[in-house]
Chains A and B, each alone.
Chain A
């Protein structure tokens, strides 16, 4: 499949089958969009055909898309440990019911966390690299268990010649010196929640007594990033209908000296915060604003890493990953404080998706089979989409929560994803041009 798109005055060709990206002129783009109606002379069409021919011959254009599923592993690779179903914030848009997941507020015991690690190791087959993500609620409300389980997991993995990569997602409210030291020693990645400008952050991310939390977290995040060195972290924000000018929030975060940033559209049905179809044009424009400023800062030597503008076309993931994506419900699971297992954090507490318990060690094979068989090729809508091998069919949970089916991608998510990918490709082209100069 050949996709052409325009970014301001630039025209690009993305070949879905091969994954190659080309820059072209407006006439070539028009020709590829529709040879019949492009309005070009026969002579010009012949010239363009001649220009394109070497690309076809080299397999860089018009390469047939892979359309069959090559493999599916049954080895478990990663767990999201809900180390604490409680939170010290009351964020308005929280999908997790402000930490409680529509159940009781509780913390995971070391015994349960240990059983989860044993479960992962036992079911990881030949996998050498395993991952555990400490999630909540707010994980730092249960730091002592995180510490114990990290040391336990490392010891057990070493016995089997395996290795763990740990991640923690935190609101940074309890990010004190002890936590920073521990995270810097043991966490491969730390995700810190900050929505951007103080007024934006405080509007939704409130403390239990209803006060904005910005002033409580910002100094902790600054200190953490100062001490992080070159290890991975992300300052991650959420944008809502209240800040459709979210590029300003990303840039605000960058101006604070945080150079690894992610900003995600909210997932909520709260009317005043939810992203709706009528917002899409503004959001797409805002991604362009962000893209332009991103490139301006890059050119000025003040570049930063924006998660969704990264794209690796030359050395990206293997086909297996492109087709199977996050692996939720098959190679990736969530474990809640009592040890119950769900396909991922977004399904936690939904009994229709209860898959077992780490103390029993068995998984509901019916649910697992449903997730295991779900992939890019079971999502009909993805078949004609240029972004399919980059987005891999969207988030199972989003698909389910918006469209009632893990195989039906949510249109709004698709539209935003496609825009971000086009921005990322433009950035790739501009960076390459700058390197050549």
Chain B
């Protein structure tokens, strides 16, 4: 039995910097980039939904 839970979009090298700096989120000691979303992808998804 194999069930796919998450199928990511291809990881692009945009580096646009629109997303928050990791250290400014909450922790200041144990940064985790993977829990952030790409601002551009999120914005594009919102527009698609509309």
Contact = CB atoms under 8 A, between A and B. Distances in A.
Please indicate whether A and B come from the same complex rather than being unrelated chains: yes
Contacts of A315: 8-9, 37-38, 41-42, 45
A78 B22 CA distance: 10
Interface in A287-335: 307-322, 325-328, 331-332
B24 A21 contact: no
Output the residue of A309, A325, A420 with the most chain B CB within 10 A. A325
A265 B33 contact: no
Contacts of B37: 312, 315-317
Contacts of B30: 264-265, 308, 394-395, 398, 413, 416-417
A69 to B, nearest CB: 10
A19 B2 CA distance: 16
B6 A20 contact: yes
Interface string A373-406: 0000000000000000111101101100000000
Contact of A391 (B5, B7, B34): B34
Interface residues of A, number: 82
Interface string A33-64: 00000000000000000011001000010000
Interface of B: 1-9, 11-38, 41-42, 45
Interface stretch (A124-132, A201-209, A350-358): A124-132
Contacts of A167: 24
B26 A19 contact: no
B31 to A, nearest CB: 5
Interface of A: 12-13, 18-25, 28, 51-52, 55, 60, 66, 70-71, 73, 75, 77-78, 80, 127-129, 131, 133, 165, 167, 169, 189, 191, 234, 236, 262, 264-265, 267, 307-322, 325-328, 331-332, 344-346, 389-392, 394-395, 397-398, 413, 416-417, 420-421, 424-425, 428-429, 432
B17 A129 contact: yes
A416 B35 CA distance: 15
Contacts of A328: 23
Given A77-B17, A317-B38, A264 B29 contact: yes
B37 to A, nearest CB: 4
Output the residue of A18, A307, A321, A413 with the most chain B CB within 10 A. A321
A71 B5 contact: no
Nearest to A266: B29
Contacts of A128: 17-18
A317 B4 contact: no
B32 to A, nearest CB: 6
Given A55-B2, A320-B13, A20 B31 contact: no
B9 to A, nearest CB: 7
Contact of B1 (A28, A346, A390, A428): A28
A314 B9 contact: yes
B22 A326 contact: yes
A421 B19 CA distance: 20
A313 B6 contact: yes
A234 B24 CA distance: 11
12 contacts: A23-B3, A28-B1, A236-B27, A313-B5, A316-B34, A317-B19, A325-B22, A326-B23, A389-B11, A389-B34, A417-B30, A432-B6
Nearest to B27: A264
A189 B24 contact: yes
